[in-house]
Amino acid sequence: MKIESSPIKYTLGENKSPLTYKIHFILADEKDNPLLAGFQDQWKSGKFRGESKQKFVDETSKTIFLGLGKPENLPLRNLAGMFIELGKNLRKLEGVGYEIFLRQEITSHYDCERLVYQIVNSIDLGYFDIRVLATKDQEKKKPGSVSFQTEEISIDKKILSGIKKAQAVSKQVNGARYIAHLPSNYFRPQEFEERSREIAKDHKLKITVFNEPQLKKMGMNGILAVSRGTDNAGKMIILDYNPPGAKKTFAIVGKGLTFDTGGISLKPSAEMHEMKYDMCGASATIHAIAAIASLKTKIRVVAAIGTAENMPDGRAYKPGDVYTAYNGLTVEVQNTDAEGRLVLGDVLSYVCDKIKPDYMVDLATLTGAAIMALGHETAAVLSKNEEFIAKIKQASELSDDRVWELPLWDEYGEGLKSDIADLRNIAGGKGAGTISAGIFLSHFVDKDIPWAHLDIAGTAWRKKGSGTQTNGPTGYGVRLLVELAEILSR
Ligand SMILES: [Zn+2]
């Protein structure tokens, strides 16, 4: 379960790769730039005018021009898609490299460290091939290197730190994508433990694994109920990064259903194979703590995941069953496909009880309703703490892992009343399933802990890439959590 680094080397100065393409950025108002001397026809015809996301390749001079748009509107996210594509191209031809020119005219519009971070991160994500189990027709060729050329020596340091941060983060985003993409006969709760142990070893983190006998003793009956129909026993895994000088504790909780059939409330078969992705919250959680530890961010981070498999079976839990959760609440199971919240409920209340964090988020592919509401461009974020939401939005802007706020008003939880127990696990009726799921989770969180729930059902994987997100598993959340930990550490 080793986590692979990208093989692409990033350097400063001239590029000696055998097949190097020069990359120039062009603004929409740079018609008379001498770099375009031979390409005025393209400009006149509109084929390349430096507009945002426009690309023009001149094979004769091995030059790629990338349009940035109007100087007053240059969001970094526009660069991501272009460099994800350029990263993909590196695996098509042996030894292809890039020499990226950062003219002063361009760098003056950006925070140079973030500019380089975005470029390197996107190339690494593009280079990663999601056909991880394919043995034939692999187009994965050995890449050349990527270098940055500047006009000012003063920004060299910023470029180098942008490269360093991007490499630490992209390694973990791709790591999260890799395990997310593995099917459930390759990746089960047992493999989650192996992967977590690998991360603990790499970054010298404390790890605690709770298996069935301990979970029974502790009364974590949510995880146990969900796991009853499978031979792949559920687990709770906790990684702890506690650097010297850390003043605050930030807890990240992840849903890790390595496969979700829906259980006795069986899902329709058409898209069921996609339910191997039901562990993307936990996958992002353990790789985010790895990235945060490698960046040495000064905050204690506790990553806690609940991992299980939801299967129908003679022993499986059934609609109507009532179980007692870790925090003592009795829960009536009305639908065995609303299992993620049962697993998360136990983990959230355990973390509140034993870790007492200053901040807590959870990431979960929790509801199809999140996809209905927001599609694949943004995750839903729900919290009662305005200040904490503001910080998450700030981290979202820096990382381009987008979030959109939905209300967490108690009125949405009316349907969670049970006529036999404290709570039932679905609200019933139509509409606002993402919000009632959030309200359900809130019953397992201490009121005085700033907590936010992120429903990543729409962003964890996608058929077509967009913005900073690739196609396939996206690793959504790793970059967001890296920025959020940084903000919370201040
Ligand atoms: Zn489910």
Please report whether residue 237 resides in a domain. yes
Structure tokens at 259: 């496969």
The SS3 call for residue 319 is coil
Give yes or no: residues 87 and 210 share one domain.
no
Question: Looking at residue 328, what is its pLDDT?
Answer: 98
CA pseudo-torsion sign 399, 403, 125, 241: positive
Total domain count for the chain? 2
Question: Looking at residue 139, what is its pLDDT?
Answer: 64
167 pLDDT above the threshold of 70: yes
Which among 114, 267, 298, 393 is annotated as catalytic?
Answer: 267
Question: What is the percent of the chain where pLDDT is above 90?
Answer: 92
- Across residues 224-248, what is the average pLDDT? 98
Give yes or no: residues 109 and 248 share one domain.
no
Please give the distance, rounded to the nearest whole angstrom, from the Cα atom of residue 426 to the centre of ligand 1: 11
Give yes or no: residues 438 and 313 share one domain.
yes
263 pLDDT above the threshold of 90: yes
- Across residues 201-224, what is the average pLDDT? 98
> Among 337, 437, 452, which residue's Cα sits nearest to residue 393?
452
Per the structure, the complete domain to which residue 214 belongs is given by 184-489
Report the DSSP beta bridge partners of residue 361: 252, 452
Structure tokens at 406: 């939905």
Give yes or no: residues 360 and 443 share one domain.
yes
Question: Residues with beta carbon < 5 A to ion ligand 1?
Answer: 260, 337, 339
Looking up residue 478, the CATH number of its domain turns out to be 3.40.630.10
Residue 255 phi/psi, 5-degree rounding, is: -85, 125
Please give the distance, rounded to the nearest whole angstrom, from the Cα atom of residue 331 to the centre of ligand 1: 16
pTM of the predicted model as reported, rounded to 2 decimal places: 0.97
Please give the distance, rounded to the nearest whole angstrom, from the Cα atom of residue 228 to the centre of ligand 1: 14
Please give the distance, rounded to the nearest whole angstrom, from the Cα atom of residue 317 to the centre of ligand 1: 13
Please give the distance, rounded to the nearest whole angstrom, from the Cα atom of residue 281 to the centre of ligand 1: 13
Give yes or no: residues 61 and 107 share one domain.
yes
Please report whether residue 172 resides in a domain. no
Please give the distance, rounded to the nearest whole angstrom, from the Cα atom of residue 339 to the centre of ligand 1: 5
Please report whether residue 165 resides in a domain. no
- Across residues 316-345, what is the average pLDDT? 98
286 pLDDT above the threshold of 70: yes
CA–CA separation, 271 and 269 (whole Å): 6
Please give the distance, rounded to the nearest whole angstrom, from the Cα atom of residue 343 to the centre of ligand 1: 11
Looking up residue 87, the CATH number of its domain turns out to be 3.40.220.10
Please give the distance, rounded to the nearest whole angstrom, from the Cα atom of residue 334 to the centre of ligand 1: 12
Give yes or no: residues 144 and 188 share one domain.
no
Question: What is the percent of the chain where pLDDT is above 70?
Answer: 99
Q: Which residue spans within 146-234 are E strands per DSSP?
A: 146-150, 206-210
CA–CA separation, 285 and 300 (whole Å): 14
140 pLDDT above the threshold of 80: no
Give yes or no: residues 422 and 296 share one domain.
yes
Give yes or no: residues 134 and 188 share one domain.
no
Please give the distance, rounded to the nearest whole angstrom, from the Cα atom of residue 192 to the centre of ligand 1: 19
Please report whether residue 4 resides in a domain. no
Please report whether residue 153 resides in a domain. no
- Across residues 346-369, what is the average pLDDT? 98
Give CA separation, 423 vs 202, 285, 426, in Å: 41, 27, 9
CA–CA separation, 391 and 307 (whole Å): 28
Give yes or no: residues 238 and 361 share one domain.
yes
Please give the distance, rounded to the nearest whole angstrom, from the Cα atom of residue 53 to the centre of ligand 1: 38
Please report whether residue 158 resides in a domain. no
CA pseudo-torsion sign 211, 330, 249, 394: positive
CA–CA separation, 388 and 253 (whole Å): 16
Which among 158, 165, 341, 479 is annotated as catalytic?
Answer: 341
CA–CA separation, 296 and 355 (whole Å): 21
Last residue within a domain, chosen from 148, 165, 192: 148
- Across residues 127-153, what is the average pLDDT? 87
Which residues, 6+ apart, have CB-to-CB distance to 356 below 8 Å? 249, 449
Structure tokens at 411: 């009125």
Give yes or no: residues 80 and 199 share one domain.
no
CA–CA separation, 216 and 432 (whole Å): 33
- Across residues 379-393, what is the average pLDDT? 98
Give CA separation, 130 vs 6, 114, 134, 245, 365, in Å: 13, 26, 9, 39, 20
Question: Looking at residue 485, what is its pLDDT?
Answer: 98
Give yes or no: residues 399 and 471 share one domain.
yes
Please give the distance, rounded to the nearest whole angstrom, from the Cα atom of residue 188 to the centre of ligand 1: 16
The SS3 call for residue 405 is strand
Give yes or no: residues 312 and 201 share one domain.
yes
- Across residues 47-59, what is the average pLDDT? 95
Of the two residues 91 and 452, the one the predictor is more confident about is 452
Question: Is 296 annotated as catalytic?
Answer: no
Please report whether residue 46 resides in a domain. yes
Question: Is 267 annotated as catalytic?
Answer: yes
CA–CA separation, 86 and 1 (whole Å): 28
Please give the distance, rounded to the nearest whole angstrom, from the Cα atom of residue 338 to the centre of ligand 1: 5
Tell me the H-state helices in 182-211: 189-203
Please report whether residue 189 resides in a domain. yes
